Amino acid sequence: MTLYRQGKVPGSFYDGYGQEAVSAGAALAMAPEDRLCILHRDLAAHIIRGVTPARMFAQYLGRAAGVTGGRDGNVHFGDYRLGCVGMVSMLPDMMLVATGMAMAFKIRGERRCALTWFGDGSTSRGDFHEAMNWAGVQKLPVVFVLENNQYAYSTPLDKQFAVNPVERAAAYGFIGVTVDGNDAEAMFEATRAARARALDGEGPTLIQAETMRMHGHAAHDDMKYVPKEQVEEWRKRDPIERQEMRLRSVGVDIEELRASVRAEIDAAAEEALASPMPDPSTATEGVFHEGEAEPLGNGLARWSGFAAPEPGGEAAAEAGAVPSEVVS
């Protein structure tokens, strides 16, 4: 945000301030061979899969070293070698892509799943219905994470749907659960369970993660339409603070942790700021692929002990690592 305000970030700037647990908790439950369609407020998912902060900063700054090399804007990225598909602006198009990935897994008999995040607003579009329906009809191993952060830009929930969206899962033939989106461990558990169901052939799950968007829709939005009381109430439930409390209770030095993270972030920002802009002469390259198509690769899954291959390495990894038991 600071960089954006300094004018170093081209275009618009979206963040997921206050929603961090929705992506962190869910992504941590994924295995290396699982596939993710990540949305614009889910940066944690990218980090968990193995995208370095420096590359992410470079991406926002439109640098050549960014994940898309400057080809797409700040949030629209996904490192395919780590199993992440970059989103498009039309929402929730990626629900269908995740559904399709799950479809392929099922056809090939593989024990893995696909996961996608999408917002409350996007459930009003046709692709939500087509994806939910398709996944339900074919009983696909896909996890749909609905990030209900109370507002779609300025549109509140009561203008978006007439029913609680979690109830819709039943209409498509599968389970819907509501989870406290600001509780990282709850998110993790819900996702782990959904994944297990998927791998056992029980079909999709809709996880409604309730959270609150603490900044505007984008940096250019001052959120005037949100009642202050609502903001205050959700501030008390800040996900990072809650997790920090938990960690402190088991003896983790939070200040040290914060300092080291801060240092890492600062170093990453500096590295990104020093990196060059893309070469204009390459602007028309890369529209088509030549040669063999390379599918998505495996990402980091620390919880299962899997270290992702070096960037640029082979995707491979058919046999997925079984996620270890959750330590609660």
Partner 1 sequence: MPTMTYLQAISAALRDELRADDRVLVMGEDIGVFGGAFKVTDGFIDEFGPDRVMDTPLAESGIIGTAIGAAVVGMRPVCEMQFADFISCGFDQLVNVAAKMHYRQGLAVPLVVRLPSGGGFSGGPFHSQNPEAWFMHAPGIKVVAPSTAADAKGLLHAAIRDPNPVCYMEHKHLYRRVKGEVPEGIEETPMTARVARPGNDLVVIAYGAMVHTALEATEDLDGASVEVLDLRSLVPLDTGAILDSVARCSKVVIVDEANTTCAAGAQVAAHIAEHAFEDLDGPVVRVSTPDVPIPFSPPLEQAVLPSVERVREACRELLAY
**222, 264, 270, 294: residue in contact with partner 1 (rule CB under 8 A):** 294
Taking alpha carbons only, the member of 180, 83, 163, 79 closest to residue 123 is 163
Establish if 280 lies at the interface with partner 1 (CB under 8 A). Answer: no
**Bridge partner list, 36:** 84, 115
Name the one range near partner 1 by CB under 8 A: 4-12, 129-137, 193-201, 212-220: 129-137
Establish if 286 lies at the interface with partner 1 (CB under 8 A). Answer: yes
| SS3 assignment, position 210 | strand
CA distances from 104 to 6, 128, 223 (A): 45, 19, 41
**Bridge partner list, 157:** none
Establish if 99 lies at the interface with partner 1 (CB under 8 A). Answer: yes
- Do 149 and 120 touch, CB atoms closer than 8 A? yes
CB of 151 to partner 1, least distance (A): 24
Establish if 130 lies at the interface with partner 1 (CB under 8 A). Answer: yes
Q: Say how many residues touch partner 1, by CB under 8 A.
A: 48
How many whole angstroms separate alpha carbon 217 and alpha carbon 205?
27
194-199 LR contacts (CB < 8 Å, sep 24+): 194/143, 195/29, 195/30, 195/31, 195/34, 195/113, 195/115, 195/143, 195/323, 198/102, 198/113, 198/140, 198/141, 198/142, 198/143, 199/111, 199/112, 199/113, 199/141
Name the one range near partner 1 by CB under 8 A: 181-189, 243-251, 284-292, 320-328: 284-292
Alpha carbon 50 to chain centroid, angstroms? 13
Name the one range near partner 1 by CB under 8 A: 11-19, 133-141, 177-185, 238-246: 133-141
Establish if 316 lies at the interface with partner 1 (CB under 8 A). Answer: no
CB of 188 to partner 1, least distance (A): 24
**22, 102, 113, 199: residue in contact with partner 1 (rule CB under 8 A):** 102
Establish if 171 lies at the interface with partner 1 (CB under 8 A). Answer: no
How many whole angstroms separate alpha carbon 306 and alpha carbon 309?
9
- Residue closer to partner 1 by CB (options 295, 313) is 295
CB of 72 to partner 1, least distance (A): 4
Give residues with Cβ within 8 angstroms of 270, minimum separation 6: none
CA distances from 89 to 9, 39, 93, 118, 276 (A): 18, 10, 8, 11, 26
**55, 63, 76, 197: residue in contact with partner 1 (rule CB under 8 A):** 76
**48, 56, 75, 94: residue in contact with partner 1 (rule CB under 8 A):** 94
Establish if 289 lies at the interface with partner 1 (CB under 8 A). Answer: yes
Establish if 93 lies at the interface with partner 1 (CB under 8 A). Answer: yes
Establish if 311 lies at the interface with partner 1 (CB under 8 A). Answer: no
- Do 190 and 177 touch, CB atoms closer than 8 A? yes
**3, 47, 64, 104: residue in contact with partner 1 (rule CB under 8 A):** 104
- Lay out the site mask for partner 1 across 198-237 (x = CB under 8 A, - = otherwise): ----------------------------------------
- Residue closer to partner 1 by CB (options 8, 129) is 129
Establish if 134 lies at the interface with partner 1 (CB under 8 A). Answer: yes
Taking alpha carbons only, the member of 205, 164, 211 closest to residue 17 is 211
How buried is residue 125: exposed, middle or buried, by Cβ count under 10 Å (0-12/13-18/19+)?
A: middle
How many whole angstroms separate alpha carbon 22 and alpha carbon 210?
8
- Positions that interact with partner 1 (CB under 8 A): 35, 67-69, 71-72, 76-78, 80, 85-86, 88-90, 93-105, 107, 114, 126-127, 130-131, 133-134, 137, 286-296
